[in-house]
Structure 1
Amino acid sequence: MAASVHDQAHLAGLFDAGDVTRLFTATAEIRAMLVIEGALAKVQGKRGIIPELSAQAIHRASLELQIDPGGLAAATAQNGVCVPALVAAFREAMQAPEHAQYMHWGATSQDIIDTGLMLRLRQASGLIDASLEQTLTALAALAGAHADTPMAGRTYGQQAAPTSFGAVVASWGWPLLEARRAFAALEFPVSLSGAAGTGSALGPDPAVLRGDLAEALKLSDPGHSWHTDRSPVLRIAEAAMQAITAFGTMGEDLIALAQTEVGEVTLGGAGASSTMPQKQNPVAPSALVAIARLCQGLHGVLHGAAMHRFQRDGAAWFTEWMALPQIVMGAAAAAQHGHKLAEGMQPNPARMAAHLQGDGLLHAEALSFALAAQMPRPEAQLETKRLAAEVRETGQSLGALAMARYPDLPASLFMPAAQLGSAPQEARAFAAQVRGA
């Protein structure tokens, strides 16, 4: 069994996070930290905090030198962070001690790690958002095409009242639109606060230097130290969780709609069994639900890790390292599956119609309101309950029993297409919203 399903060769397709996976490799993390060190030296050189010539040398070396992450392991195990070993390896590889001595001037390990994390999270968020956009485009097309396709609405797993397949698709899509808005509103702040968050070794004006670094890296300037304020991380995780939860709901619905007894949806690329030739397993929807279940638990862990003691908390920080990447990669993998499902699924209107034509009990609510025009509402509800009980006892349809007893009722009362309410409008409104976005 894999330690992480996202980086195992045989599970790469099942939990495929695409290019986001590479952003959470050791190589990508080290590369991001080197970018930070080079940019920091460059802005410090311009401010005269370190010699300009040394700043240029460090910046150039940060772009050219390769540091083996494996070579940092022993020191990282001892120090709890990789930055001391990274700085030592970089200085040695530069072979220019007169310049290398100014690398990492006044910064602390958390500045480099957190800022490097933000660079990678910015990239990851852009990739996830692109997948969300593709998914929404496919869902909008499906919702628009089937805005008027009747199917049974279900509450508590039971048939409730008619809806349309387009409206069901829209119900999956609306939260994804909200997730895209959450991603669009994210900020990725630079961290530059020094050993205890005071910036005391960063020169005469640490705030100005922090702004310089933010501008150089195209990150935001938080205006304060956030070593122990994990709000930026939590907001990014929350956007990811909005997408993950929406996809999980979509997965739950598709598992039920594709099951043998229902068969109202056919999934593109369904999975096969090792021994049962007839099986068409809902693999992708199952992956969506599994990702959601795991990440919901990790989201709680991440919130617990947001409570840092004093000016830095190793245990809380380490916990964040373990939980956050899985949430981000989970969102990326869910978006990949969601996109493929949205493009490949096909509704089965004939099966939907067959389920609607059964005993007619899903028209009970409409019948109770129609009878309320002839009698007080409480009596109409009681009469509908009596008719529903008779349906279960005799096997006759609700429509046949009701029309026999109340021949003045409109025939359209028991026609699903006439009882869709606002479902078609909901589907079309969603499709229009996506097109407008």
Structure 2
Amino acid sequence: MSIFEGFLSTSETLSAFSDHNFVDAMLRFEAALTRAQAALGLVPESAAHSIVGSCKVELFDVAKIVRDSGRAGSVAIPLVKALKEAVGLFNPGAVPFVHFGSTSQDVIDTAMALVTREGVALIEADVDRAIEALLQHATQHAATPILARTLMQPASVTSFGLKCAGWAAPLVRSRARLREAARHALNVQLGGAVGTLAQMKGQGPAVVQRVADELGLGNAGATWHTQRDEWVALGCELGLLTGSLGKIARDISLMGQYEVGEVAEPTEPGRGGSSAMPHKRNPVAAMVALAAAQRAPQRVAALLAAMPQEHERALGGWQAELAEWPQLLMSAHGSARALAGALPGLQIDAARMRANIDALRSELPREAADEWFDPALAGPAGETALRQVAALRAHLTAKDTSR
């Protein structure tokens, strides 16, 4: 993560996808695998005890594992080597049972599912905050007149509440789709070298289920080494969410221009300042969300491009996907966090909104001004806004109770 990327994400997502956390997730997989195999008689209890006791990230040189992964072609290879060495120090007889019946992609994909679950939960929490702030603004300003603008020009009068409801609606839909996509995608990966679990003597399906249960992941019922559709579908939903957040940020940045002055991001010490112009209030939350919206499409495109993978295990495609995935989650959460922080305290200048309408009315023929720019037009827009708010809240409640 470079100096130019850190402020576009969050410390929580950076931690979730850190080297330390990812190695810890791989070790959690190895421990769960060994426990499941021991319970089914595939691994001796004494060996399982030694292996599980060694699956502690603090026992390993994470930086060395990462360095060695470049030469090995997979971060799992130096990890398993180090784990075998650690186990062998106390119980040489347990070494053959380390990573038994699994393969590098099993441990990496499962670890990625575990850390992605952390990232998705963070994103969902901040999206919920953003939605609630928008629905509150939509209710409070249901009938507040504002210029509607099409093709960047004044079109008619609407209400700011309806605008907020329109911002919230895609987030509500995205929240539901993201949760559903995660339910389908966040599965344990365990297929062995070619997906057959042949080493597990017919106990493979039972082992997979036990590992899934312990780690709290789904069980797809089959290996998905080169079946990336559900996984990439989750990535696509993250891209859609980031685009919807970017749309809100674009509108806020335009409405916050000095010449328009209808809204402004919250003020606080050190926020949105300039190194040269002390009078400036830069919309930094919108900036972060817009940067994410411009970066996410390339990440999603890379995931889609990596899908045509060879036979049972990929050469290059899977590795490209792994490199892009954390960046997509980081951008999505950076965007969600930025707007979740700005929207509750959004400064809304209803008087300026009305002044902009009046200024335009003064330049138009009376007939056109009354037909298109009568502030009373905000009344019907407000009624629509309140209906939309009610529908969105009902949608949120229904999705929450169905979990």
Q: 1:319 & 1:352 partners in 2: Cα distance?
A: 48
Code of the aligned partner of 2:136: A
The equivalent of 2:325 in structure 1 is: 324
Q: 1:153 aligns with which of 148, 154, 157?
A: 148
Q: How far apart, CA to CA, are the structure 2 residues paired with 1:98 and 1:424?
A: 73
User: Which residue in 1 is equivalent to 2:376?
Assistant: 418
Match of 2:213 among 182, 195, 215: 215
- Aligned counterpart, 1:248: 246
Q: Which residue of 2 aligns with 1:129?
A: 124
Note if contact 1:38-1:63 (Cα within 8 Å) is conserved in structure 2: no
CA distance in 2, matches of 1:344, 1:276: 24
Cα offsets for 1:372-428 (capped at 9, x unmatched): xxxxxxxxxxxxxxxxxxxxxxx85322x569xxxxxxx7x4663322375213432
1:116 and 2:114 aligned: no
What is the distance in 2 between the residues matched to 1:228 and 1:240? 21
1:57 Cα offset (Å): 2.5
Task: State the 1:225 CA deviation.
Answer: 1.3
> Cα distance, 1:111 vs. partner?
0.3
TM-score, length-normalised on structure 2? 0.90
Give TM-score, length-normalised by structure 1: 0.83
SS in 2 for 1:152: strand
Report deviation, 1:86.
0.8
Q: Aligned equivalents of 2:20 and 2:374: distance in 1?
A: 58
Task: Tell me if structure 1 keeps the 8 A contact 2:169–2:392.
Answer: no
Q: Which amino acid aligns with 2:274?
A: S
Question: Could you say what secondary structure the match of 1:358 adopts?
Answer: helix
Larger Rg: 1
Q: Which has the higher contact order (CA 8 A, sep 6+)?
A: 2
**In 2 relative to 1, CA 327–426 (structure 1 residues): closer, same or farther, beyond 3 Å?**
farther
The 1:183–1:91 alpha-carbon spacing in structure 2 relative to 1, beyond 3 Å, is same
Q: Is the 8 A contact 1:192 1:225 kept in 2?
A: yes
1:398 is matched with 365
Indicate which of 147, 159, 163 corresponds to 1:164.
Answer: 159
Contact 1:175 1:242 in 2 (8 A): no
Q: 1:58 aligns with which of 48, 51, 59?
A: 51
CA contact (8 A) 1:189 1:232 kept: no
Contact in 1 for aligned 2:30/2:99 (Cα 8 Å): yes
Which residue of 176, 193, 196 corresponds with 1:195?
A: 193
Matched, 1:432 2:401: no
The farther-off stretch of 36-45 and 90-99 is: 90-99
Of 255, 258, 262, the match for 1:257: 255
Alpha-carbon distance, 1:4 to partner: 6.6
Distance 2:151 2:229 in 1: 36
Question: Among 36, 42, 66, which residue is 1:43 paired with?
Answer: 36
How far, CA to CA, are the matches of 1:250 and 1:165 in structure 2? 13
**Matched AA of 2:145:** P
Take 2:25 and 2:373, find their aligned partners in 1: how far apart are those partners?
61
Aligned partners of 1:106 and 1:194 also within 8 Å? yes
- Give the corresponding residue for 1:392: none
Distance apart, 1:278 and its partner CA? 2.2
- The aligned length equals 387
Inter-partner Cα distance in structure 2 for 1:20 and 1:396: 51
Query: Residue 59 of structure 2: SS of its match in structure 1?
Result: coil
Partner SS state of residue 239, structure 1: helix
1:3 aligns with 2:2: yes
SS in 2 for 1:160: strand
Query: What is the deviation of 1:232?
Result: 2.9
Aligned-partner Cα distance in 2 for 1:21–1:65: 19
Deviates more, 1:95-104 or 1:73-82: 73-82
Matches within 5 A, 1:352-367: 352-360=353-361
Q: CA RMSD in A?
A: 2.1
Query: Are 1:148 and 1:164, in contact at CA under 8 Å, matched by a contact in 2?
Result: yes
Aligned partners of 2:142 and 2:27: how far apart in 1? 52
The secondary structure found in structure 2 opposite 1:314 is coil
> Paired residue for 1:389?
none
Per-residue deviation, 1:358: 3.1
Counterpart code for 1:431: V
Q: In the alignment, which residue of structure 2 is the partner of 1:383?
A: none
Which has the larger displacement, 74-83 or 245-254? 74-83
Q: Note if 1:78 corresponds to 2:67.
A: no
Contact 1:241-1:296 within 8 A present in 2 as well: yes
Amino acid at match of 1:51: P
Report how far residue 42 of structure 1 moved: 0.5
For 1:23 and 1:414, locate their aligned partners in 2 and report how far apart those are by CA, in whole Å.
Answer: 51
Structure 1 equivalent of residue 17 of structure 2? 24
Give the conservation status (yes or no) of the 8 Å contact 2:27–2:57.
Answer: no
Asked if the contact 2:249/2:290 (under 8 Å) is kept, the reply is: yes
Give the direction of change, closer, same or farther, for the CA distance of 1:253–1:5 in structure 2 (3 Å limit): same
- Equivalent residue, structure 1, for 2:304: 303
CA distance in 1, matches of 2:96, 2:5: 39
Letter in 1 for 2:208: R
- Per-residue deviation, 1:239: 2.6
Residue 174 (structure 1) shift: 0.8
Where 1:274 maps in the other structure, the secondary structure is coil
Asked if the contact 1:75/1:82 (under 8 Å) is kept, the reply is yes
Distance in 2 between the 1:415 and 1:247 partners?
Answer: 29
Assess if the C-alpha contact under 8 Å between 1:248 and 1:288 holds in 2.
yes
SS at match of 2:281: coil
- Any unmatched runs of 5+ in structure 2? 398-403
Q: Distance in 1 between matches of 2:104 and 2:377?
A: 63
* Alpha-carbon spacing, 1:354–1:65, altered in 2? closer, same or farther (3 Å): closer
Matched residue of 1:300: which SS? Answer: helix
